[in-house]
């Protein structure tokens, strides 16, 4: 019952054979020092075996324009389907020597499994982030990562969504406003007082 979740394309590859793609919505950052993320993968998936075999994968952040490709990679199996070709996606070599990146995705993370937890229906792969690749258009004039420009895809209980408008930023609720400015919301309202309309 968590909402929304990122939806990503995970590329993996065995010691032999072509790379595969898997759509994963159960993913997230778990640590900053060292940089770690996790993905939860159903034990029966073809990609599960590849992840166990090599311990390497890439996480590729798709845009809303890739929603059909993302869905296809989640409902077909790499055992009998070349998902790259069928979804119209392009594998490109990363810099860490693991599985390929998805060229059409504006952000790519190269990862190496550090810990594996077999939890039942899913295995949780906790991995170190070895390299991060970001499209040049997502870096603003001040060198800041402007990820809001990417138009990334999200997931909620079986449906894909685009993200909505920004409502605030980390720490905005306690940030002091400069003296003499009431901000866009107008004057502050005292407890028990109704705002004017």
pLDDT digits (tens, 9 = 90+) for 118-139: 999 999 999 999 999 999 999 9
Number of structural domains the chain divides into: 1
pLDDT digits (tens, 9 = 90+) for 143-179: 999 999 999 999 999 999 998 888 898 899 998 877 6
Flag whether the pTM goes above 0.85.
yes
Question: Is residue 172 in a domain?
Answer: no
pLDDT digits (tens, 9 = 90+) for 177-197: 776 655 444 444 334 443 444
Residue 150 CA to residue 138 CA, distance in Å, equals 7
pLDDT, residue 125, reads 98
Domain with 70 in it? 5-162
Question: Is residue 177 in a domain?
Answer: no
Q: Check if the beta carbon of residue 121 is closer than 8 Å to that of residue 110.
A: no
The residues that bridge with 118 in the sheet, in sequence order, are 123
Question: Is residue 34 in a domain?
Answer: yes
Q: Element (H or E) spanning 59, and its range?
A: strand 56-61
Question: Is residue 173 in a domain?
Answer: no
Residue 9: closest CA among 81, 80, 90: 90
pLDDT digits (tens, 9 = 90+) for 28-84: 999 999 999 999 999 999 999 999 999 999 999 999 999 999 999 999 999 999 999
Question: Is residue 79 in a domain?
Answer: yes
Q: Tell me whether residue 197 is exposed, middle or buried, using C-beta atoms within 10 angstroms of its C-beta: 0 to 12, 13 to 18, 19 or more.
A: exposed
CATH code of the domain in which 96 resides: 2.30.110.10
Question: Is residue 197 in a domain?
Answer: no
Return the structure tokens found at 137: 């258009």
Residue 121 CA to residue 170 CA, distance in Å, equals 35
Task: State how far Cα 51 lies from the chain centre.
Answer: 18
Question: Is residue 20 in a domain?
Answer: yes
Average pLDDT over residues 110-117: 98
Question: Is residue 148 in a domain?
Answer: yes
């Amino acid at each position: 019952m968590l909402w929304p979740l990122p939806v990503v394309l995970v590329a993996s590859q065995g010691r032999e054979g072509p790379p595969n793609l898997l759509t994963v919505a159960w993913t997230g950052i778990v640590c900053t020092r060292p940089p770690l993320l996790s993905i939860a993968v159903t034990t029966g998936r073809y990609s599960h075996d590849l992840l166990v075999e090599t311990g390497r994968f890439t996480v590729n952040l798709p845009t809303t324009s890739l929603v059909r490709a993302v869905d296809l990679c989640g409902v077909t199996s790499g055992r009998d389907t070349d998902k790259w070709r069928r979804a119209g996606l392009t594998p490109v070599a990363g810099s860490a020597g693991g599985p390929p990146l998805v060229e059409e995705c504006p952000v790519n993370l190269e990862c190496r499994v550090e810990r594996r937890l077999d939890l039942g229906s899913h295995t949780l792969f906790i991995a170190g982030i070895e390299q991060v690749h970001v499209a040049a258009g997502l870096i603003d004039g001040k060198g800041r990562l402007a990820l809001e420009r990417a138009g990334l895809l999200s997931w909620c209980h079986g449906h894909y969504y685009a993200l909505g408008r920004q409502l605030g930023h980390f720490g905005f609720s306690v940030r002091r406003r400069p003296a003499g400015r009431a901000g866009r919301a107008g004057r502050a309202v005292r407890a028990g007082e109704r705002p004017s309309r």
